[in-house]
């Protein structure tokens, strides 16, 4: 059985981007806005070296909400993938949910099975790749990430990223951390 770390994307690997027109910190909307935190690559390499499979599990509802295009989201993903691979970091799979229950694009706007806090993608990884969820971790910056990990039976780490502080406070993670670097220190200790 494999052990894995399931990672949220925005606020964990990539920085949020401040949008002056909405006053909100948002996911990157174009490839040029993709910025990793200073220790992201080193932290992911450390997980790989410790024998963990890496999976991305990310809710990306902004197309469903009418805020961006599928092509833009694909370009952002491709840029992230390029940066990771060129730095020797290889995710086993990238799992994205593009849905939102209250979106404006009908085909993507419904109560789907895959949106965190649902654990759909973690169970899928367990079935597809033989991941032992009880020996695995979920790392994210929102309560929904913690709830997702708990629903799948992983251990959980909540990263207290300042720009997403309003998205947490109700969940009970196994650990909190200031950054991915700190989270990886917990996982590998």
Please give the size of the binding site for Mg ion, defined by CB under 5 A: 4
- What is the sign of the dihedral through the CA atoms of 128, 153, 133 and 182? positive
Cα gap 101→103, rounded to integer Å: 6
Interactions with Mg ion, residue window 120-149 (CB under 5 A): 141
Cα gap 178→189, rounded to integer Å: 16
Residue 143 contact partner, candidates Mg ion, Zn ion, none, CB within 5 to 8 A by sort of partner: none
**Tokens 């229950």 sit at which residue?**
101
Residue 8 contact partner, candidates Zn ion, Mg ion, none, CB within 5 to 8 A by sort of partner: Mg ion
- In this chain, which of 3, 7, 11, 131 binds Mg ion, going by CB under 5 A? 11
Residue 14 contact partner, candidates Mg ion, Zn ion, none, CB within 5 to 8 A by sort of partner: none
Judged by beta carbon, residue 112 or residue 151, the one nearer Zn ion is 112
Q: What is the DSSP letter of 33?
A: G
Cα gap 67→37, rounded to integer Å: 24
Residue 47 Cβ vs Mg ion, minimum distance, rounded to whole Å: 18
Of all helices (H) and strands (E), which one includes residue 69? none
Residue 114 contact partner, candidates Zn ion, Mg ion, none, CB within 5 to 8 A by sort of partner: Zn ion
Residue 71 Cβ vs Zn ion, minimum distance, rounded to whole Å: 19
């Amino acid at each position: 059985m494999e052990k894995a770390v399931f990672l949220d994307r925005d606020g964990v690997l990539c920085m949020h981007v401040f949008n002056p027109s909405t006053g909100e910190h948002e996911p990157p909307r174009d490839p040029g806005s993709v910025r990793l935190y200073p220790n992201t690559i080193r932290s992911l390499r450390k997980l790989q070296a410790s024998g963990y499979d890496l999976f991305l599990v990310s809710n990306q509802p902004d197309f469903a909400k009418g805020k961006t295009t599928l092509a833009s989201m694909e370009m952002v993903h491709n840029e992230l993938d390029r940066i990771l691979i060129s730095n020797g970091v290889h995710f086993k799979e990238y799992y994205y949910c593009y849905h939102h229950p209250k979106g404006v694009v009908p085909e993507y706007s419904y109560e789907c099975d895959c949106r965190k806090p649902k654990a759909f993608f973690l169970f899928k990884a367990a079935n597809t790749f033989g991941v032992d969820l009880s020996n695995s971790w979920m790392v994210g910056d929102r309560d929904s990430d913690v709830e997702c990990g708990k629903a799948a039976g992983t251990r959980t780490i909540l990263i207290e990223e300042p720009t997403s502080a309003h998205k947490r406070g109700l969940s009970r993670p196994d650990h909190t951390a200031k950054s991915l670097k700190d989270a990886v220190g917990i996982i590998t200790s």
